[in-house]
Chain A
């Protein structure tokens, strides 16, 4: 029988249980952060349990980290969560990229950056955007805190095997159109729950031609389409990315020959196939309060179809029939595990070079990790951003979710490279418009979105 890559990886990790039932799956790597782990460690202590494999867990702090001065945490509970993670990892012998360490960053950025994320693995983290790691040809998904505790105690997890969707992405992207637009386009067309109950695999020539950072952007946001995970077959691009990283395999040759077994035999093996051509794809901008409420830049916002649309329009203060170039942008956010990597910052900087953001706009640039920040500074990106009028910040989740001091004020429209435009996500009353880094950079200059394929930035 023909198998998908997902089937093959899954099969290798089953410890017990029958297909169709919850099966006990081995977890190769668990990533931890300060928000969803304290109760898990507390649970272990209550029952006097140990961490089974500290060497297969890795922790960092990201959600609560202030980005002006990371050591000056004013919010007492934020501080407490961060201190608790430091203590827990110490008590249980787990590696930690702690406050200010050179490896610190957003959990989904540092996993790949450190070479911890590898093909053929099962990777979990108490965070829905764990899907990002699937870009390396692994099974990677977000879990809840009780599951975090379970993985700490047993290095395994109970899961029912999901069905699979293959998304065939083909064609050539126009200039000014990016991986972010592909995933936003897919979700806008297929809806925010098309992937519920499914594991997604992206394949096709467009995917093969992408670098790892673009692949991560794609897999990262698949969760916004309801899927628990997204993955991409590992290839030479993947192997080259991993080689020489801190935790890369010592014997790469052996590793690569093992990793090469993970591919989908034929698209027939998927339970469902979606076809997505990118030839005509335009840059996307979200108008509403979920990532599926998004339109190509040259199209008007849709008619109100239901109560949800009506509420969304009320919340964002926009009207059906208007266009994205009419949104008055007052805040700009570059960052997050979707688009906070070096290539994203390079793209944004290119747009902003020798330009200035529009008067009255606040623009935060928040690298996804300390390493990215250092690399960006080495090539002078910080200067470009600062000269353009942006604030160059310390790494962290920042205004992606406003759990730290970085928030978008109520009623303000924010052009954001992040992944969620839920009501209140970036701060109470904030109005988020998701787009690619290039689109956001152009919006910062003009104070409104423009069609970067056509208009001169």
Chain B
């Protein structure tokens, strides 16, 4: 996994609540056996016109001034609905490194920690400020300090130390768990047998 420490980037505001994983990546794009290539279909139903399948110029991701932004600012309960990890892969593949929402569905949140997508929770008043930043401006997401900074503003966020450690060091979960192999074995010996 790629390390994440400090990110300096523009912001894309998508201030809706309850954006579900079907909206993030519709099911017709799940039929794949790879982890990459989902970015072009991110937010598909909003991004492309229903009839012609051309880019919808009104949708923020299609506006040229937002092309480079790596930070998504959004509403409450982001990533609700289906458990598809493709939602996280699509966000990552598109180029997002950070999502800033009011809250997340549990499954989406866990998926984000596995794939190096930093999912930050901030209250609405902070997000409203971030969402109003002009497209050409950049903000700083500083993971070691657990801060989001923009000009005079500084918003602190919390993150579990374990996830933070993983992000900063780009660690693979399975390798970490393998360190507990002896304990897992010992546990398995104690499982009751009903046969």
Q: Is the CB of A128 within 8 A of B33?
A: no
Is B147 at the interface (CB under 8 A from chain A)? no
| B105–A422 CB distance below 8 A | no
Beta-carbon nearest neighbor of A256 in chain B: B194
Are A403 and B33 in contact, with the CB atoms below 8 A?
no
Known contacts A39-B35, A77-B32, A258-B192, A128 near B26 by CB under 8 Å: no
Total A-B Cβ pairs within 8 A: 162
Q: CA separation between A228 and B108, bound complex, in Å?
A: 11
Q: Complex: how many Å from CA A363 to CA B163?
A: 48
- A36:B194 contact, CB within 8 angstroms: no
Cross-chain contact B187 with A22 (CB below 8 angstroms): no
Which residues of A are at the interface with B, using a C-beta cutoff of 8 A?
15-16, 21-22, 24, 26, 28, 35-36, 38-39, 42, 47, 49, 52-53, 64, 75, 77-78, 80-81, 84, 126-128, 142-147, 149-150, 153-156, 158-160, 162, 192-193, 196-197, 226, 228, 249-252, 254-255, 258, 290, 307-308, 401-403, 420, 422-425, 428-429
**Residue contact B22 to A425, C-beta cutoff 8 Å:** yes
Beyond the given A35-B84, A422-B23, could you list 5 further A-B residue pairs with CB under 8 A, ordered by the A residue number?
A: A21-B161, A144-B107, A146-B173, A154-B178, A252-B194
- A146 and B20 CA atoms in complex are apart in Å by 19
CB contact between B27 and one of A75, A226, A402 (< 8 Å): that residue: A402
Query: In this complex, what residue of A is CB-closest to B36?
Result: A39
Given A49-B174, A154-B184; A193-B76 close (CB under 8 Å): yes
Task: Enumerate chain B residues within 8 angstroms of A255, measured Cβ to Cβ.
Answer: 194
A251 touching B194 in the complex, CB below 8 Å, given contacts A16-B180, A423-B23: yes
Q: Which of B4-12, B65-73, B110-118, B148-156 contacts A (4 or more CB under 8 A)?
A: B110-118
Instruction: Tell whether, in the assembled complex, residue A150 and residue B106 are in contact, meaning their CB atoms are under 8 Å apart.
Output: no
- Answer yes or no: B56 CB below 8 A from chain A CBs: no
Chain B residue nearest to A126 (CB atoms) is: B83
Report the bound CA distance from A28 to B26 in whole Å.
32
Distance, CA A21 to CA B166, complexed state (A):
14
B146 within 8 A of A: no
The reply to whether A307 and B16 contact each other, CB–CB distance below 8 Å, is yes
Query: What residues of B have a CB within 8 angstroms of the CB of A254 in the complex?
Result: 192, 194
Q: Are the C-beta atoms of A403 and B103 separated by less than 8 Å? A: no
CB contacts (< 8 Å) of A153 on chain B: these are: 174, 177-178
In the complex, what residue of chain B is closest to A258 when comparing beta carbons? B192
Contact A193 B80 (CB under 8 A): yes
**Shortest Cβ distance from B94 into chain A, in angstroms?**
18
* Contacts A/B (CB < 8 Å), 29 sampled: A15-B187, A22-B163, A24-B177, A26-B184, A28-B191, A35-B31, A36-B85, A39-B85, A75-B31, A143-B83, A144-B83, A146-B115, A150-B173, A150-B174, A153-B174, A156-B177, A158-B162, A158-B177, A196-B103, A226-B77, A228-B107, A249-B194, A252-B194, A307-B16, A401-B27, A403-B27, A422-B22, A424-B22, A428-B50
Q: Mark B93-124, 1 if CB is under 8 A from A, else 0.
A: 00000000001011100110011000000000
Q: A143-B107, A143-B110 are in contact. Are A22 and B162 (CB under 8 A)?
A: yes
Cβ B27 vs Cβ A15 within 8 A: no
- A contact residues around B30 at 8 Å (CB): 35, 403
Cβ-defined partner of B81 (8 Å) among A38, A84, A420, A428: A420
- Beta-carbon contact of B160 and A160 below 8 Å: yes
Interface: B45 (CB within 8 A): yes
Contacts of A144 in B (CB 8 A): 83-85, 88, 107, 110-111, 114
**B32–A290 CB distance below 8 A:** no
Q: Tell me whether A81 and B18 are in contact in the complex, defined as CB-CB below 8 angstroms, given that A192-B80, A258-B192 are known contacts.
A: no
The answer for the CA separation of A146 and B80 in the assembled complex, in Å, is 18
Indicate if the CB atoms of B106 and A196 lie closer than 8 Å: yes
Q: Which residues of B contact A156 (CB under 8 A)?
A: 177, 180, 184
Bound complex: CA of A97 vs CA of B141, how far in Å?
47
Contact pick for B33, options A80, A249, A307, CB 8 Å: A80
When the two chains form the complex, which single residue of A22, A52, A149, A197 contacts B106, counting CB atoms closer than 8 Å?
Answer: A197
Cross-chain contact B27 with A258 (CB below 8 angstroms): no
Residue of A nearest to B178 (CB): A154
- Which of A145, A226, A429 has the largest count of B CB atoms less than 10 A from its CB? A145
B194 touches A142 (CB 8 A): no
In the bound complex, how far is the Cα of B187 from the Cα of A101, in angstroms?
34
Residues of B140-194 contacting chain A, CB below 8 A: 160-163, 173-174, 177-178, 180-181, 183-184, 187-188, 191-192, 194
Contact across chains for A64 and B114 when beta carbons are under 8 A apart: no
CA gap between A368 and B161 in the complex, in Å: 43
- Smallest Cβ-Cβ distance to A153: which chain B residue: B174
Q: Which residues of A contact B52 (CB under 8 A)?
A: none
Which residues on the A side are within 8 Å of B32 (C-beta)? 77
- Closest Cβ neighbor of A229 among chain B residues: B106
Report A-chain residues with C-beta under 8 Å of the C-beta of B26.
424
